[in-house]
Amino acid sequence: MASRLLLVVPLLFLFLFCHTSSARVSVKVTKLMVEKICGLAKNPSFCLEVLTSDPRTGYADLDQLRGVCINLAMVNVTDTEKQINLMLKRSSKERLRSSLTKCAADYSNAIEQLREAIDFLGARDYDSVRDRASLVISVTMSCELSFRTPPPISSPLTQNTKNAVGLADIISAACTFRP
Ligand SMILES: *[C@@H]1O[C@H](CO)[C@@H](O)[C@H](O)[C@H]1NC(C)=O
C-alpha cells in the first residue's frame, strides 16, 4: 500500500506541474502587439482600423484577441449570408440567381469554417485556425468570381467579399504572431 502511494504521489505532482505549466499565460495585448500583428496582415491599415476600433481589444489577452478576430469575421459573414438570401427572395433574374445561389452556399461554408476555427482556437491549434481562415478567403473569393463566368454580370457582393477576405486575413495574422 505504502509503495503504491510512493508511486502515485510523484505522478500526481507531475500531473499538477504539467497542468500548471501548460495553462494559458494571460498577457494583455499591448498597442505594440497590435501593431506587430497588423504588420503581418496583407492590409495593415485595414487591420489597425478594425482592431483599434473594437473596444474588446483593450481588455483582451492574445487568445481573446484571436477570438475577437474570428467573431468579427463571423458576424460579418453571417450578415452577408442573410443579405444574399434576401437578394434571392427579391430577384427573379436567372443569371443573378445562379451566382447568388452559389454564394449562399459559399458563405454558409465560410460560417462553418469559422465555427471550426473557434474550436481550434480553444485547442490552441493555431495552424488549423489559419487553415480555416484561408478557406474562408478561398470560398468567399469563389463566390465573387462566379459573377465573372460568362455571361458576366456585375457583383452586388464585391464589398462583402473584400470585408470577409480582409477580416479572415486578420485572423491569420493574429495566429501567425508569436509574442
Ligand atoms: C463588416 O466588415 C466591414 C469592414 O470591417 C465593416 O465596415 C462592416 O460594418 C461589417 N459589417 C458587419 C455586419 O459586421
CATH number of domain containing 65:
1.20.140.40
Percent over 70 (pLDDT), the chain: 86
Return all residues near 61 (Cβ < 8 A) that are at least 6 apart: 24, 26, 27, 28, 29
Cβ–ligand 1 distance for 27 under 6 Å, the answer: no
Q: How many CA atoms lie within 13 A of 149 on its CB side?
A: 11
Residue 4 lies in a domain: no
- Residue 161 is part of which domain span? 28-176
Residue 37 lies in a domain: yes
Rounded Cα distance, 45 and 146, in Å:
29
Residue 23 lies in a domain: no
pLDDT band at 4 (very low <50, low <70, confident <90, very high): low
Q: pLDDT digits over 75-104, tens only?
A: 999 999 999 999 999 999 999 999 999 999
**Any idea which of 14-28, 45-59, 68-82, 107-121 has the lowest mean pLDDT?**
14-28
Residue 115 lies in a domain: yes
Q: Taking the complete model, does pTM exceed 0.95, yes or no?
A: no
Q: Whose CA is nearest to atom 12 of ligand 1?
A: 76
Q: Whose CA is nearest to atom 11 of ligand 1?
A: 76
Q: Which residue has the higher pLDDT, 70 or 5?
A: 70
Residue 3 lies in a domain: no
Cβ–ligand 1 distance for 163 under 6 Å, the answer: yes
**How many domains in the chain?**
1
Q: pLDDT digits over 27-63, tens only?
A: 899 999 999 999 999 999 999 999 999 999 999 999 9
Q: Whose CA is nearest to atom 6 of ligand 1?
A: 163
Q: Which of 43, 76, 170, 171 to mutate to test the pocket of ligand 1 (most atoms within 8 A of CB)?
A: 76
